[in-house]
Chains A and B, each alone.
Chain A
Amino acid sequence: MKFLIVEDEPDMAEVISVSLTMQWSDCQVVHAGDGAMAVDLVESASPDLVILDIGLPGIDGFETCRRIRESSDVPIIMLTVRDEEIDKVRGLELGADDYITKPFGHMELLARIKAVLRRAEMPLPTAAAADYEDGRLSINFGQRQVRVNGAPVKFTPTEYNLLYHLVRNAGQILPHDTLLAKVWGREYKGETDYLKVYIRRLREKIERDPQNPQLILTERGVGYRFRKKE
């Protein structure tokens, strides 16, 4: 297991590093003090997970995240002192997989890392759901393939899992917490921001008009529902 810590405060980086080695005794920890170095290290060291502080000197964590995402799907956990929804959503939209607010504890950090790794490595669900086909969108769960107008569409594991649960329960309302627990893990209950961002991404990939969704419907204040084929 190889981790990349992007953090300008050496003390903080050290604590995280000790915490990681305590959990994974044979892990390797690489440290970058700024964003540019982080982008290089993602290429050259190919870590399994990146822990990225937002408050970096020079190019900040958001921009670093965006640059990493240009070339890599490595799971990214952002560390931040701000817990406003807008920052959270921004981080997630730029492609971060998780978002931890300081001050966090060592157990919380480890739990989040495990959850993110679990999601990234999770075997994608297979034939448990009936395939979906409406002429425009076709989902073949057996082959894990989604096509829009015949062209294959790429999904991240989390996106695919979310789609899977929605389609499998087509016609039923899935409450926020249920979806969060199923796709992200029980510790994410209440984190509706994650759901909002990923639902938007799914809509952008499969809806004809993402602003006016016809497939993934919002049940205000309750959750989401995938429209059942008539």
Chain B
Amino acid sequence: MFKRPLISAPLSISVDKLLAVLRWAAIGVIFLLSWLNPERPTHIALILATYNGLVEVAKTRVRLLQSPRGLFAVDTAVVSLLIFWGGGLDSPAYIIYYFSVITLALDLSLVEATMATVALGLVYAGTSVASGGLPWDIANSERLAGRLSILFIISVVSSMLKKELELERTLAARLKELEQMKTDFLSTVSHELKTPLTTIKASAELLLAGGPGPLNPTQERLTRNMARNIERLSALVGDLLDMARLDEGKLSLSLQRVDLNEVIKDAAAAVAPLAESRGQRMQVNYYPDPAPVVADRRRVEQVLINLLSNAHKFTPPGGHFALEVQEAGPNWLVSVSDNGLGIPRDELEHIFDRFYRGTEHKGGTGLGLSIAKSLIELHGGKIWVESKVGKGSTFSVSLPKESPGAYE
């Protein structure tokens, strides 16, 4: 009948705590009542307290006492003895037993709770008979029936709640599974895309390098188009992979001590051809001295390239944008400003959200800034933006000179 083994898994922590508190509170009340009322014997409360104390101590060692059913069995045996001596439906032993069973009911299945209810009735009846005499009047029967009903109702309600909870848990688990599937899929597809991308990229480059023979101007223009768009596609695949890795918490930094000026120089070199192609002036103000920082060189460069290429995208042809490094206590402060369109106030707060693209977006997936934010935060830094429509935007990165975390 019991689907679960009699000695099942330990009580859940909350039920276990509730049960312990309730038992000690009941013993306290019983002791207080019997101390105030000389007609009630105090020794029962003391015996109960000793018994309960023993249970608490033994619980850490004895598995039987850790499971609701085991505790129930031991309680039934001990309390039967106590009722046999101290007898009666109002006897303190019976009351604490009752509470203990109610608490237990929270953790039992419906069938088990029903059986516990029946057992509770039988224990009382049985011990009453055994202790010689059954004061079986209507009032007693009503009280017993009342208590048994309360117990039964609690069991039913709690088992219904438990079912609901289980359903929710299943749904949550399923959602998590789907989320994992999405991440895995994203990661697999992105990886699979890389091989054909390499083939196309290298082929285009080989054509442009003139190895297989000279191209006529139109062929060359088309091949350049191809190469440029493969770069875009590669960047996109890279972003998707970063996102999948960030989701899984698998993106780890490879920290080393570098000169921030050097990283900035590499990032600027990557964006310079873009700026040049639109007649823009990119101004980089390096820190006058070496700017040592413990960081993942590649990742910081990625963030800076992202900020600089955004500035380039939103700066009109012939305009200018700038990068500046400053020392700010334990941090380096890098800011990238442009005199482009600026970002409307209501879009500012979403600018670092994943997939968010402003109304004036210039292509892109809306992943770059969100990834930049995660990467800077992994370094223990911060990234933020200030912007005025029509005046331009300034993105700032504050990067700790010593990133927290282990490195070698």
Contacts and interface: CB of A to CB of B under 8 A. Distances in A.
A175 B256 CA distance: 9
A111 interface: no
Interface residues of A, number: 34
Contacts of B252: 84-85
B52 to A, nearest CB: 52
Given A12-B198, A103-B201, A107-B205, A193 B254 contact: yes
B333 interface: no
A220 B250 CA distance: 23
Contacts of A55: 195
A11 interface: yes
Interface stretch (B15-23, B206-214, B271-279, B373-381): B206-214
A176 B211 contact: no
A192 B211 contact: no
Given A9-B199, A190-B297, A221-B407, A19 B256 contact: no
A64 B170 CA distance: 43
Contact of B211 (A18, A81, A103): A18
Contacts of B206: 15, 18-19, 22, 106
B140 interface: no
A102 B198 contact: yes
B203 interface: yes
Interface in A29-63: 55
Contact of B198 (A21, A103, A107): A103
Interface string A83-112: 011000000000000000011111101000
A175 B258 CA distance: 9
A222 interface: yes
Contacts of B91: none
A16 interface: yes
B228 to A, nearest CB: 13
A177 B258 contact: yes
Interface string A1-25: 0000000010110011011011000
A192 B212 contact: no
Contacts of B197: 102-103
Contact of B199 (A11, A196, A218, A221): A11
Nearest to A85: B254
B391 interface: no
Contacts of B199: 9, 11-12, 15
Interface string A61-77: 00000000000000000
Interface in A150-193: 175-177, 189-190, 192-193
Q: Main SS of chain B's interface residues?
A: helix
B194 A15 contact: no
A22 B256 contact: no
A190 B294 CA distance: 12
Contacts of A12: 195, 198-199
A228 interface: no
A9 B195 contact: yes
B234 interface: yes
A176 B257 CA distance: 8
B408 A104 contact: no
A191 to B, nearest CB: 9
A114 interface: no
A27 to B, nearest CB: 13
A220 B407 contact: yes
Chain A CB count within 10 A is highest, among B199, B203, B407, for B199
A221 B211 contact: no
Nearest to A82: B191
B298 interface: yes
A16 B255 contact: no
Contact of B408 (A16, A21, A189, A220): A220
A105 B205 contact: yes
B279 to A, nearest CB: 26
A22 B209 contact: yes
Nearest to A222: B257
B202 A192 contact: no
Interface in B277-317: 294, 297-298
18 contacts: A12-B195, A12-B199, A15-B198, A18-B206, A18-B212, A22-B206, A55-B195, A103-B201, A106-B201, A106-B202, A106-B206, A106-B209, A107-B205, A177-B258, A190-B256, A196-B408, A221-B407, A221-B408
Interface of A: 9, 11-12, 15-16, 18-19, 21-22, 55, 81-82, 84-85, 102-107, 109, 175-177, 189-190, 192-193, 196, 218, 220-223
Given A85-B252, A104-B198, 7 more contacts: A9-B199, A11-B196, A22-B209, A84-B245, A105-B201, A190-B298, A221-B408
